[in-house]
Amino acid sequence: MALPILRNDAARRLFLARHALLGPKAATLPDLLEALGFVQVDSVLTLARAHDMILWSRRPTYRPADLQSLVRARAAFEHWTHDASVLPIAAWPHWRHRFQRDRARMDRRWDNWQGPDFRAHLDRTLRHIADNGGTLSGDLIDGPRGEPGWWNWHPGKVALEYLWRVGELSVSHRQGFQKVYDLTERVIPEAHRASTPALDETIDWAANAALDRLGFATPGEIAAFWDLLTPQEAQQWAKDALSRGEIEEIQMEGADGKLRRSFARPGTLDEASAIPEPGDRLRLLSPFDPALRDRARAERLFGFFYRIEIYVPAPKRTYGYYVFPVLEGTRLVARTEVIAQNGTLTLRALWPEAGVRWGKLRTQRLMSELERVARLAGATRIDLAPNWLRQPVAS
């Protein structure tokens, strides 16, 4: 029997709706964080930091201090998914298995990497924090870093990161953009620390939570969502959930018309077909937006190829240092380089996607979006670089 087909236009509407980019706004910031599952924390600041841009794109009243307020109120915690992220505090008990796996993996490497004093340094770091409270990595600098490079952390930073990754320390908040580490029992509420789900409970929670946020997914995409499950665990969960009738197999149509076997909840195709077409507002999205984080999925779904060019030498860049995808309705229609400095927001360049005609109406909608994002960035003036509108880049 042929599998039902989720057509591309409906798949895009469903995926964006599940990522809170269509439809009604979340009532509160905790509601929005729960809907997304997590937001990636990133240090790059040309316009707004990734986590702030992600939340502002969905909640126009959001301001950069709001996320740290959630963390300080112990309504959210910071740890690792595919990268450093802020998550709802209710997810913390399921990270116990991440702590155990990270400890086993890191113990195989870090002793050799750091040498014979490593374990003693962990003990000294824990004693320091127990006695002194929240600690920045700069508080523990106690020796030369060696050769320059991000991998050459000083011993205090190494100890803090190890103890954070294995759950003995937690990030109580950030000071500027620096993590403040403290004992986990002083950061994570006791009710969450008392919860100890079994591995099969965590697998079931993580797989269900991922699928509900993705709308449709392969086992690999389910595993990668939190980076909490192995591909084998996600595959077995899908097999079991399918046998129980909790999910069904479908074919998802990509932007190129190719079909990809995926899993979805029963009734998902009807839900997707009922989602109305959105308006034509233009939105600047963070390169680390949850809707774009999985680059391969975004390319299949939207026909949008994107790579960060931060580490590409300037003469070899196709676009720019840090370029924002531009969403119009359910289509990614352009990418743009915008910076904010000294109270001025500057549109340096915009490249329409192939086949997208950039006329006066789109320019007007772009200016409206730049006025909105200027408020987030604290800019009071908008400048347009000469020749900001570029030709589409040939694929």
| Range in 73-82, 119-128, 185-194, 334-343 the model is least confident about | 119-128
**Per-residue pLDDT, 158:** 85
Q: Mark which of 142, 158, 188 sits at the end of a domain.
A: 188
Which three-class secondary structure state does DSSP give residue 290? coil
Q: How confident is the model at residue 265 (pLDDT cuts 50, 70, 90)?
A: very high
Could you write out the three-class secondary structure of 8-68?
A: HHHHHHHHHHHCCCCCCCCCCHHHHHHHHCCEECCCCCCCCCHHHHHHHHHCCCCCCHHHH
pLDDT exceeds cutoff 80 at 61: yes
Convert the pLDDT of each residue in 151-187 to its tens digit.
445 777 888 999 999 999 999 999 989 999 999 999 9
Per-residue pLDDT at 295 exceeds 50: yes
The residue from 164, 188, 212 where one domain ends is 188
In a domain, 32, yes or no: no
Q: Which tokens belong to 310?
A: 């931060």
3-state secondary structure 217-230: ECHHHHHHHHCCCC
Calpha distance 14→8 (Å, rounded): 10
Whether 136 is in a domain gets the answer yes
Beta pairing class for 344-352 and 5-6: unpaired
CA–CA separation, 280 and 92 (whole Å): 38
Is pLDDT at 150 greater than 50 in this prediction?
no
**Distance between CA 163 and CA 110 in Å, rounded?**
12
Please state, in angstroms and as integers, the Cα–Cα distance from residue 166 to each residue in 104, 106, 157, 223, 332, following that order: 9, 9, 14, 20, 39
Band (pLDDT 50/70/90 cuts) for residue 146 is: very low
Residue 46, pLDDT > 90, answer yes
Looking at 188, 221, 244, the residue that finishes a domain is 188
pLDDT reported for residue 147 = 39
Per the structure, the count of domains in the chain is 2
Q: Please write the tens of the pLDDT for every residue from 94-113.
A: 999 999 999 998 888 766 66
What is the rounded end-to-end Cα distance, in angstroms, of the chain? 38
Between CA 176 and CA 64 the distance in angstroms is: 11
Residue 206 maps to a domain: no
Asked if the structure places residue 164 within a domain, the reply is yes
| Cα dihedral sign, 96-101-103-106 | negative
**Residue 40: inside a domain:** no
- Burial of 251 by CB count in 10 Å (0-12 exposed, 13-18 middle, 19+ buried)? middle
pLDDT over threshold 80, residue 28 = yes
Q: What per-residue confidence (pLDDT) applies to 258?
A: 97
Does an H or E element contain 323, and which?
Answer: none
Sheet of strand 84-88, all strands in order from the earlier edge strand to the far edge: 39-40, 84-88, 76-80
In a domain, 368, yes or no: yes
pLDDT in the model for residue 153 = 55
CATH number at residue 367: 3.40.630
* Angle at alpha carbon of residue 7, lines to 334 and 300, rounded to 5°: 45
CATH number of the domain residue 160 falls in? 1.10.10
Average pLDDT estimate for 182-201: 98
pLDDT of residue 101: 94
Q: Answer whether residue 233 is part of any domain.
A: no
Judge whether 42 lies within some domain. no
Please give the full DSSP string across 104-167, using - where no structure is assigned.
HHHHHHHHHHH-TTHHHHHHHHHHHHHHH-SB-GGGG--S---SSSTT---HHHHHHHHHHHTT
The mean predicted confidence, pLDDT, of the chain is 93
Question: Has residue 141 got a pLDDT over 80?
Answer: no
Q: Which residue type, as a one-letter code, is found at position 265? A: R
Per-residue pLDDT, 111: 64
Q: Give me the domain span that covers residue 183.
A: 114-188
- Residues 372-392 have pLDDT tens digits of 999 999 999 999 999 999 999
pLDDT of res. 106: 87
Task: For residue 297, give every residue at least 6 positions away whose Cβ sits within 8 Å of its Cβ, in sequence order, or none.
Answer: 221
